[in-house]
């Protein structure tokens, strides 16, 4: 095996190593920018007029109310779920509480059950004394604490 061949083998191997490194980086790059936006409606499905929301059954909560804190009394209709709670302008329940984040938490429904989900708030969302880390099911009268405010589901 001549000296030159070995030199070429060495250079070729280093080239392969770096091609691998650069391809991995380019995959990461495309992963960052190449995500697709989900289409709002599945193709082929006829756009229908949105059905009126089903009339609430008995015993089901219909709105969220602030029961304690500076904004006591304001409510939001659960028909417009998900209900966003926060200090931001786009929140369905806008709170003037300094301990609440812009997009603090939201109340969503899944399979007839209502859940509260923390949206990465600074001070956390509490159910009782427990800080929630994942969507937690709530029912009528469950008191959810965001900042110094308490909200609950009402009929």
Partner 1 sequence: MASNSALMGFVHRRRRGAELFLLVLALVVGIGAYAAVGLGVDGEVPTNLIGYGGWLTILVVAAHVAVRIVAPYADPVLLPVVAALNGLGLAVIHRLDLAKDTALASQQLTWMTLGVVLFVGTLIILPDHRLLARFTYTSGLTAIVLLILPMLPGIGRTINGAKIWIALGPFSFQPGEVAKVLLVITFAGYLVVHRDALALAGRRVVFIDLPRGRDLGPILMMWAVSLGILVLQRDLGSSLLFFGLFLVMLYVATERPGWLVVGGLLFFGGATAAFKLFSHVQSRVDIWLDPFADPDGSGYQLVQALYGFAWGGMVGRGLGEGMPEKVPYAESDFILAAIGEELGLTAVMAILLLYGLVVERALRAALISRDGFGKLVATGLAAVFALQIFVVIGGVTRLIPLTGLTTPFLSYGGSSLVANWVIIAILLRISDQARRPLPDLTEAEDDPDEQATQIVKVVPS
Instruction: Compute the distance between CA of residue 144 and CA of residue 132 in angstroms, rounded to an integer.
Output: 10
Which listed residue (4, 28, 46, 89) binds partner 1 by CB under 8 A? 28
Report d(CA 70, CA 140) in Å as an integer.
Answer: 22
Q: What is the smallest separation between the CB atom of 1 and partner 1, expressed in angstroms?
A: 4
Minimum CB distance to partner 1 smaller for 34 or for 43: 34
Task: Label residue 7 left, alpha or beta by phi (over 0 means left) and psi (-120 to 50 means alpha).
Answer: alpha
Decide if residue 49 touches partner 1 (CB under 8 A). Answer: no
Nearest to residue 138, comparing CAs of 121, 122, 150? 150
Binding range to partner 1, per CB under 8 A, among 55-63, 69-77, 105-113, 140-148: 105-113
- CA separation (Å) from 7 to 2, 16, 57? 9, 14, 79
Q: Which residues bind partner 1 (CB under 8 A)?
A: 1, 5-7, 9-11, 13-14, 16-21, 23-25, 27-28, 30-31, 34-38, 50-51, 53-54, 81-82, 103, 106, 108-111, 115, 117, 119-120, 124, 131, 133-134
């Amino acid at each position: 095996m001549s000296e030159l061949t070995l030199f070429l083998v060495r250079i070729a191997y280093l080239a392969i190593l770096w091609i691998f490194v650069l391809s991995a980086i380019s995959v990461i790059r495309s992963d960052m920018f190449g995500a697709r936006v989900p289409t709002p409606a599945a193709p082929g499905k006829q756009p229908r007029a949105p059905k009126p929301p089903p009339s609430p059954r008995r015993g089901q909560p219909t709105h969220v109310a602030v029961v304690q804190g500076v904004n006591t009394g304001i409510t939001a209709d659960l028909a417009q779920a998900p209900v966003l709670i926060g200090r931001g302008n786009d929140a369905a329940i806008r709170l003037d509480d300094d301990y609440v984040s812009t997009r603090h938490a939201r109340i969503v429904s899944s399979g007839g059950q209502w859940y509260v989900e923390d949206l990465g708030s600074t001070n956390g969302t509490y159910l009782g004394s427990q800080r929630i880390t994942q969507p937690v099911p709530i029912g009528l009268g469950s008191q959810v604490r965001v900042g110094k405010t308490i909200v609950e589901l009402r009929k």
